[in-house]
Structure 1
Amino acid sequence: MHFVNQSHNYDHPWSHVVIGMWHKYPNPKCTHVVSIDVLDRSVDPKTGIIRTERVLGCKQKAPKWIVKLFGGSEDAFVREISFIDPRTQNATITSENLSLSQFATCLEQIRSNDVMAECS
């Protein structure tokens, strides 16, 4: 198991940091992300928490022989779920690969106070 933990403090208001988190994709510097589809978006009437579920379509940069060996394609998909709580000023975005997940799983979690990524 490979584990990476990265942390960075931004000297900006919480709302600006969350907007930056939300604008991770799409952006012009990540040209490998070719599509973003919103599957579900809801607001919990009791807590005010905004939940969004998206699927990101990406183009892989893996060598063709690896793609053929594992039976995949250059198209890859990632499921992303975010929770934004304006009342407590907490935000979490969790992403997990859907493609080739039987061989390796990459889980990324971004929180309004830290970033964690785990791949295995």
Structure 2
Amino acid sequence: MVLYFENKIQYNFDFETTTLAHLNRYPNPYAKHVLSVDTLDSHIDKEGQLNITRIIVKTGRLPKFVRPFLGSTNLNSWIIEKLIINPKTKTMKSYTSNIDHRKFIRIEEFLNFQTDKSLLNLIECNAKVKFSSNLIGLKSKIEEWSHQKFSKNINNSRDGLTYVMNKMKEKGKYYFIKKNMNNGLGV
């Protein structure tokens, strides 16, 4: 059995702020489990889309009943992230998946960010997450545990991105005020 999680959320920010915040979402107070983020590749394709591939290392969160099978105490998880940002259509697609512990669990997250056509300062994000395990005998238990854990943690991910967007907005406002004061415009 493969389990899925689907979710839709809206952010009251413009496309540029949302995409920049997504690229810079770590560190934030809601993601203390993220140890590092490294960019492996970035390029602009023929359609003018920005393509980015990154590796994210997080502290491991596997269930205790699986740990004896790993033979290791290091449960850090390595995540591949692939992003496609289209500035013309104001869409961003994100794919993340663990690249380790796949015998036990594979978690694939598909995010689709798009600007609301009627409200330019509203971004809709559709999320679909797939949980699949190949461990015979514990497959359903592992998938259910992962689904429950993800369901509990989804708010932290969304709150973390919102936190980063708000910080960017504050810094942008501060920069604008400072720039105008330096130009003698006052505020």
**TM-score normalized by structure 1?**
0.85
Count of aligned pairs: 119
Aligned-residue offset at 1:64: 6.0
C-alpha RMSD of the superposition: 1.9
Larger radius of gyration: 2
Counterparts of 2:88 and 2:11 in 1: how far apart (Å)? 20
Residue 93 of structure 1, CA deviation: 1.0
What fraction of aligned residue pairs are identical, expressed as a percent?
22
Q: Equivalent residue for 2:78? A: 77
1:10-49 equivalences under 5 Å are 10-44=11-45, 46-49=46-49
Q: 1:93 corresponds to which residue? A: 94
TM-score, normalised via structure 2 length: 0.57
Higher helix share: 2
Cα distance, 1:104–1:64 mapped onto 2, change above 3 Å: closer
Runs (5+) with no aligned partner, structure 1? none
Structure that is richer in strand per residue: 1
Does 28-37 or 7-16 show the bigger shift? 7-16
Partner residue of 2:10? 9
| Structure 2: runs of 5 or more not aligned | 114-123, 133-187
Partner of 2:127: 115
Query: What do the CA deviations read for 1:73-97 (whole angstroms, capped 9, x no partner)?
Result: 2221000000001011110111001
Q: Secondary structure of 2:53's partner?
A: strand
1:3 shift after superposition: 0.4
* DSSP 3-state at the match of 2:54: strand
Structure 2 residue matching 1:18: 3-state secondary structure: helix
Runs of at least 4 residues off by over 4 Å: none
**CA 1:96–1:47: 2 relative to 1, 3 Å:** same
Q: Distance in 2 between matches of 1:25 and 1:111?
A: 19
3-state SS of paired residue (2:9):
coil
2:78 aligned with 1:66, yes or no? Answer: no
